[in-house]
Structure 1
Amino acid sequence: MHAITNSGWVEVITGCMFSGKTEELLRRLRRAEIAGQEVAAFTPAIDDRYGEASLGSHAGHTWKATVVENDAGGVRDIPNRLNGEEVVAIDEANFFPTDLVDVCERLAADDRRVVVSGTDQTFRGEPFEPLPQLVATAEYVEKLQAICTQCGEPATRNQRLIEGEPAHADDPTIMVGAEESYEARCRNCHVVRQD
């Protein structure tokens, strides 16, 4: 993948929900560990689906991680939490502010391999920062697809559902007690209500 140059770089794994981003991140971390490289993994405090201090995939695989507040201060503190690790993994980058871009650049300039994963689009199909900026500045980018739950085509969009119906474009929050869920959908089956 990367010629041995004794320099750092940034890898971005992106795509819609359920496309296997975290599973691919975990695969790369397992390979780094097999190669004898020290790994540090970080996850945002807002994402506690797989336990407070771990990365987790829908396939059930996990990795111990340091929880970081998903604000500018938490992101800027990531380099201070390292103890010489050569590989730095950051999951769910879409939950972090754009300060993450500068932090990743600093880590790569410090000769570290930085592996970042996160979804690149909001449920509206719009760019989900900071992923577009990370994609633009990374040395390696892999965009994964899921399978559309409606038609079986490759899915690249996140379909937000409220009580089983497509969410309204202007409603970033849900009513208390309303059931929120997500599906992977292709461009043609993705719906964002405008009414």
Structure 2
Amino acid sequence: MVAGLLLAGGAGRRMGTPKALVRLHGEPLAVRAVKALQAGGCGPVTVVLGARADDVTDVLRAAGLGTAGSDVGGVVAEDWDEGMGASLRRGLGSLTHLPGTGAALVHLVDLPGVGPEAIRRVADGAGHSSLRRAAYDGVPGHPVLLGRDHWSGVAGSSTGDAGARSYLAGHPALELVECGDVAVPDDVDTPAQLRRLAGA
């Protein structure tokens, strides 16, 4: 089983609001990303919250996610303002008690151009020893697949905004999975980027 892990705790300072709450075509990015993980075959899905956690929880529940029986849960990274590494550590820690979970598919909330097709491709056939990363024309990106055997190593090396970068760099087990034909890896950091994406 591949669990979905959505990192959605940032304050979105350049956006002016947490990106999890930003709407694209009327849908909050947090909702859009959870649906992509589910449609890509990941479950359960855990959303790592931080800035305005209650508001993000509310928009998920309004969409029928994060309620009883929805297979979507949330955990708060109290130290979310330290960077992505804190959210990744908190998220992986929350998955260790889930029986039958052999891997975690880590997705970022500000990548609305990465949908179920890329998620499914990276997660396909994953096991405890799997270590994969989506690539776009050969350039490493997201999502990232972390087999359970790698969780402690990733958590131990995740600091600041680097996330799993140092663990993945040069790791002999890492597989790059080309996704440039099914997804667009551009993140949405500013209102101008959001407007361009909405127009496209």
TM bucket (normalised to shorter chain) is 0.3 to 0.5
Structure having the higher strand fraction is 1
What TM-score do you get using the length of structure 2 for normalisation? 0.34
Larger Rg: 1
Higher helix share: 2
TM-score by length of 1: 0.34
